[in-house]
Structure 1
Amino acid sequence: MKKENSIDKLFENLVEQFSKIRNFELTQTDPLGNKLFNFVVKLVSEFDSYQKLFVQYYVPASKKSAIAVKKEIKHSKYKKYFHITEEELNENYYETIRLGYVGAYHKYESYIKRLPILMDEFFKELDFDNNFIPIKDYLKKEFDIELRKTIYNFPITYKVNWICNCVKHKDGYPLKEPIPPFFKHLNSSKKIQLESKEFKSDMEELITHNNLILQSFFLIGFYQYLNQEGANKELKPEYQEEGKIEVLKSHLNSTIKMIFSEA
């Protein structure tokens, strides 16, 4: 059986996810929309490659290194002087995974900074009578939500951010306050130890989360559009009926709030 091309699979999965977004066809026909689509494809590809780099290369290399050191000690004529535990031998392996979370969070930070800029460009091209408010500002004004603080609203971004901070500021020990509820069980005297399987799963969840953020930005943009005077004239006839636009706005409002509500 012919091996499935990983790039083809990645691209097809992205198209499937994008197709769920209202007016997805704009990302294929509109220059700005296409620019936005290409940006997301590039970023998701980077995340996918980053995850594979660690899981398929860095992590196995760190394991191999630990085995080699263990073998050297076993056959050393000075082995009686070495009192290294199995856990200590595997420290490079766990350190590699911890560093993986640091890099992943920095990639997410970059995504959150760059995506709103592209989304603003995209929506400014629609007829907003030059009253368009940048996505981040509108999110704060209309919903009292600061985008940079929403990392604590989602378990996956909270987890990745917390591990990153522990590595950067606590030498890998689970001491960064406040400690998330899902990490209360960790021994504070031991550095964080996570397996490569969990890291891989978390990276996949982070990619899914990025898609959610993208979809939420589309919703915010269209919600702002619907609140512009005369916006209903641009809608399909079935949505121009009395009361329909208010129902649509109410639905968008509650959906946006639900997405960013604390888990």
Structure 2
Amino acid sequence: MTHKTIANPPDNTIQAFATEFAKIPNYHRDMQDPDLKKVYTFISFRVTELYSVKKFIVEGFLPKTDELIRKTENEIRRSKYRDIIESLDYKVTDQRFETIRLGYVMMFHKYEVFVKDLFKIFDEVSPGFDETKEPLEQFCKRKLNFNPKEWHRFPAVHKVNFISNCTKHHDGYCRLNNPKHPKPIDFIAHSENRKIYMSTELFKQDIEFFLDISLKLLLSILGMANMLCSMENTADDTYESNGVIYPLHNDEAKKVTNEQNAKNWKKE
């Protein structure tokens, strides 16, 4: 008798990462480098964590909320104070929408911390990085005009951040936290006197799009930026040749050194 193998979600996630990383040129060679391995491992773990949070919300929190809503509705129907309760401006079903809004808060918070820690780990593995070198985050702002924490510049991130802020600071009402930034396009016509109501399907779509687009963009830009930043940070480094200290990127000095080395090789 053969047993059908049931797909294990964590295994699927790890295999998906392995497949994507395998597409990176020289990936298997890079994994021999402890610093690069540290970066890849960090990214894999934290991105998996982001998707896990979404899974817990959709498959755990929301079904449990629905269960409690049904239980509460039944209790109200049996209550001897039913007329009083029903006369109040209170809808038990609003708890579902509140839970969904809190889901946006959780997802954005996890993403925000991930971005912060990602900059740190890139700095940690950058060759020769110390407190005298420019951090990658500052380099991105100065050289590339790229600041991933300007959430409003990235539509998928902006929407999740906006709903998160409305939930935390305005009890779910559709109000700007920073008047300098526009509302996401989905909420331009939304009244500030109405709360934001999102369905489970919309939440899933928003988070999938948010994670897929923002992570690919973030990782591709930071990967390139880290290489450029490392090159610039080592521009003033020096090296020694025949007892003489030369700037690492002094082409003329390198030429002299190479010529001298060539002469030495001929003598040998």
Shorter chain as denominator, the TM-score bin is 0.7 to 0.9
- Contact 1:27-1:36 within 8 A present in 2 as well: no
Aligned residue number for residue 193 of structure 1 = 197
Aligned residue number for residue 155 of structure 1 = 155
Aligned residue number for residue 186 of structure 2 = 182
Question: Kindly tell me: are residues 132 and 82 of structure 1, through their superposed partners in 2, closer, same or farther at Cα, counting changes over 3 Å?
Answer: closer
1:80 and 2:79 are equivalent in the alignment = no
RMSD: 3.0
Q: After superposition, where does 1:91-106 map in structure 2 within 5 Å?
A: 91-106=94-109
Aligned residue number for residue 223 of structure 2 = 218
One-letter identity of the residue aligned with 2:141: K
Q: Supply the distance in 2 between the matched residues of 1:138 and 1:81 (Cα, whole angstroms).
A: 61
Q: Supply the distance in 1 between the matched residues of 2:92 and 2:185 (Cα, whole angstroms).
A: 29
Q: Gapped runs of 5+ residues in structure 2?
A: 236-247, 252-268
Cα deviations by residue, 1:150-170 (Å, 9 ceiling, x for unpaired): x11211210111111111111
Q: Which moved more, 1:12-21 or 1:26-35?
A: 12-21
- Contact 2:50-2:111 within 8 A present in 1 as well: no
Question: Kindly tell me: are residues 112 and 71 of structure 1, through their superposed partners in 2, closer, same or farther at Cα, counting changes over 3 Å?
Answer: same
Cα deviations by residue, 1:9-60 (Å, 9 ceiling, x for unpaired): 1112222333344553355211111111111121112112211111111111
Q: Gapped runs of 5+ residues in structure 1?
A: 233-263
- Contact 1:47-1:203 within 8 A present in 2 as well: no
Cα distance, 1:102 vs. partner?
1.0
Cα distance, 1:212 vs. partner?
2.6
Q: After superposition, where does 1:22-41 map in structure 2 within 5 Å?
A: 22-25=25-28, 27-41=30-44
Higher relative contact order (CA 8 A, sep 6+): 1
Aligned residue number for residue 171 of structure 2 = 171
Aligned residue number for residue 143 of structure 2 = 142
Cα distance, 1:121 vs. partner?
2.7
Q: Supply the distance in 2 between the matched residues of 1:61 and 1:99 (Cα, whole angstroms).
A: 14
Task: Indicate the structure (1 or 2) with the bigger Cα radius of gyration.
Answer: 2
1:204 and 2:216 are equivalent in the alignment = no
Aligned residue number for residue 60 of structure 2 = 57
Question: Kindly tell me: are residues 188 and 62 of structure 1, through their superposed partners in 2, closer, same or farther at Cα, counting changes over 3 Å?
Answer: same
One-letter identity of the residue aligned with 1:213: L
Taking structure 1 as the reference length, what is the TM-score of the superposition? 0.75
